[in-house]
Every structure is written in C-alpha cells, then in structure tokens.
Amino acid sequence: MELARERKRGLSFYLSIYRKILIQDLKSKMSFRTDFIISTFGMVLTNVSGFITFMILFHNFPSVNGWDYNHMLFLYGFSLIALTPVQCFFDNNWNLRFMVRSGDFIKYCFRPINVFFYFISEVFDVKGLGQFAFGLGTFIYAWAHIGIPVTFVTIAEAVLFLMTASLFMIALMNFAAATCFWIINSGYVMVIMFRFKDFAKYPASIFNSVFRFIFTFIIPIAFVAYYPSLVFVTPDRVPLLSWLSPAIGALFFWLSYKFWMLGVRKYDFTGS
C-alpha cells in the first residue's frame, strides 16, 4: 500500500518535470522559426515521398504476396503511427554519441532523477506530429475501406497494439544509441537501424524463413506493423505472436532500457 502510493507520486512527479522540460524545449525551438518551418516541411516531404513510392509500386503491381492495395495501405498507416513516438519523444538518442564523446553527458548523471528519463525528455520533436497526422489519415482510410467493424473492442485493440508496436522501434534505437558508450563514433549503427524501419511497412510473409526469423526475433521490425496488423486484417486466423506482441514489446523495451543504463554505468567508470 505504502509502496503503491510512492510509485504513484513518482509518476506524477516525472510527468510534471516532463512538462516543464518540454515547455523549455519548445521555447528554444521557436526561437529558430525558419528552421522549425523548414524541418516540418522536410518531414512532411519525406512522408509524401514515401507515399508516392508506394503509389508508384501499386500503379505497376496491383498486389504483393496476396496483400491488396487497401491492406498494404493499412500496414503503411499502422507503421507510420507506430513510428511516431520514437520520432517525437526519443529523438535525443541521436545526440547521445556527441554528448558522450564531448563529456557533456556527465551533467545528466548529477541530477536526482532517472538518467534515461532526463536525457530523453530533453528533446521533443514536433515534426513527428506531421507524420502522425499523415499516418492516422491513411490508417482510417484503409480501416474504412477494408470494412473492419468499429466497436469498442476493435478501437481499444487498435490503441493497445499501436502503442506497444511503437515500443519496438524505440527499443531498437535505444540499443543502437547506447552502443556509443562502448564504440566511438557509432553513429552508423543508428543510421542502419533507422533505415530498417522503411521495411516495417511491408508484410513479413515476403521473407524466407531465415530472414523472417531475423526480423522477428533479432531485429524485430516485423512487430512494428506486420504482426499487430494481422489482428485486424485477418481476424479469423491470428498467429500467436500477434497476440503476444504487446508483452514482447514491453520486454524488449525494458531490455533496451537496461542496456542503455548499463552503458551509463560504464561511462561513469571511465571518468571521462
């Protein structure tokens, strides 16, 4: 009982800190107004470009591996939404290697709050919201055209599966970013991981068994959209992995957090 109350206070405490840091971050971003506008435009443009690529593909090929246009669109929208949190909330991972190298990272270790939380909350990437809007539009369009029933259960499922699917990409980027505690200049690890997300929007059934195993259990991009989508697209034959994906996502995220924190501890010892 006592413990539960402690935990609860902890959460609201962290939320209020997050809000304060967020406001500061937005203020500083607003002072570079042109940069903000161009970056937002750039983000929208990447989404439009991805969509054009998608349309060109379907202009030439009406279906891929038994997935028709609307189903592919559903996957596409699902992946865009699931990839929004990593863009919006976890963007500071990209700065980690510079901070670690220059030694500026030490400032995060001297605060009486969780290092991971403090570091990650420092940057909120507003540009990601454009992607969210784009993804949501696509998702709803595909949802309506496939004719998935709109009930309390399906919507609750959608929210749950979208949120847990987003954990996979977040965890992948945490792992990739944390490599910089051991390897100098490890930016390329992040670049490679980030490129894999382009393939989250395709059905994992196109891969042979070896690669399906890799993308399910080692670099789990198949969980970003494919497995959770099956719950909605083929409701009568959902594989077990789809139902398990929320739990796997939570576990994977927890592991990445532990790995990240392990790096922090290692960083302390070098005393750089």
Partner 1 sequence: MTKIRRLTALTRAGIIESLQFRLGTAVMLFGNLIYLALVYFLWKAIYDSSGTDMVNGMTFHDTMIYLILATAIFNLLEMFIVWDMSRAIQSGEIIIHLLKPMRYRLYTFWSYTGAHVNNFFLAFVPTFIVVAVITGGAIPMGMNLLYFMISLILALIVNFNIEMLVAPICLYTESTWGINIVKETIVLLLSGATIPLAFFPEGLRQAVEFLPFRAVYDIPLTVLLAKNGTDTLAGLLPKLGIQALWVVVLTVCGNLFWNHAVKKITVNGG
* Closest separation in Å from C-beta 38 to partner 1: 3
Judged by CB under 8 A, which of 189, 222, 224, 230 binds partner 1? Answer: 189
Distance CA 120, CA 18 (A): 10
When binding is defined by CB under 8 A, the residue of 105, 202, 260, 267 that contacts partner 1 is: 202
128-146 and 69-82 helices, crossing angle to 10°: 150
Q: Least distance from C-beta 130 to partner 1, angstroms? A: 12
User: Does 15 sit near partner 1 (CB under 8 A)?
Assistant: no
State in angstroms the smallest separation of the CB of 50 from partner 1.
9
Name the residue nearer to partner 1 (CB basis): 117 or 196.
196
Q: How many residues contact partner 1, by CB under 8 A?
A: 40
In sequence order, the β-bridge partners of residue 95 are: none
Q: Within 62-81, which residues bind partner 1 (CB under 8 A)?
A: 63-66
Q: Applying CB under 8 A, does 21 fall inside the site for partner 1?
A: no
SS3 state at 120: helix
Does the protein bind partner 1 through residue 86 (CB under 8 A)? no
Report how far residue 255's alpha carbon sits from residue 251's, in angstroms, rounded to the nearest whole number.
Answer: 6
Q: Closest CB to partner 1 among 50 and 246? A: 50
Nearest alpha-carbon partner for 170 in 206, 120, 236: 120
| β-sheet bridge partners, residue 64 | 67
272 lies in the binding site for partner 1 (CB under 8 A):
no
Return all residues near 207 (Cβ < 8 A) that are at least 6 apart.
215
The reply to whether 185 sits near partner 1 by the rule CB under 8 A is yes
CB of 190 to partner 1, least distance (A): 11
Among the residue ranges 12-20, 79-87, 205-213, 249-257, the one whose residues contact partner 1 (CB under 8 A): 205-213
- Of 36 and 132, the one with the shorter C-beta distance to partner 1 is 36
Is 49 within 8 Å of 134 (Cβ atoms)? Answer: no
* CA pair distance 112, 186, nearest whole angstrom: 28
247 binds partner 1 (CB under 8 A): no
**209 forms part of the interface with partner 1 (CB under 8 A):** no
DSSP assignment of 26-80 equals HHHHHTSHHHHHHHHHHHHHHHHHHHHHHHHHHHH-S-BTTB-HHHHHHHHHHHH
With contact defined as beta carbons under 8 Å apart, do 156 and 91 qualify?
A: no
Ramachandran sector of residue 103 (left: φ over 0; alpha: ψ -120 to 50; beta: rest): left
Q: Where does this chain touch partner 1 (CB under 8 A) — which range of 1-9, 32-40, 128-136, 164-172?
A: 32-40
Nearer to partner 1, 12 or 208 (CB): 208
Give the Cα separation of 62 and 191 in Å (integer).
Answer: 32
Residues 215-234, interacting with partner 1 (CB under 8 A): 219
Instruction: Using CB under 8 A, list all residues that contact partner 1.
Output: 32, 34-35, 37-43, 45-46, 49, 52-53, 56-57, 59-61, 63-66, 183, 185, 188-189, 191-192, 195-196, 199, 202, 206-208, 211, 214, 219
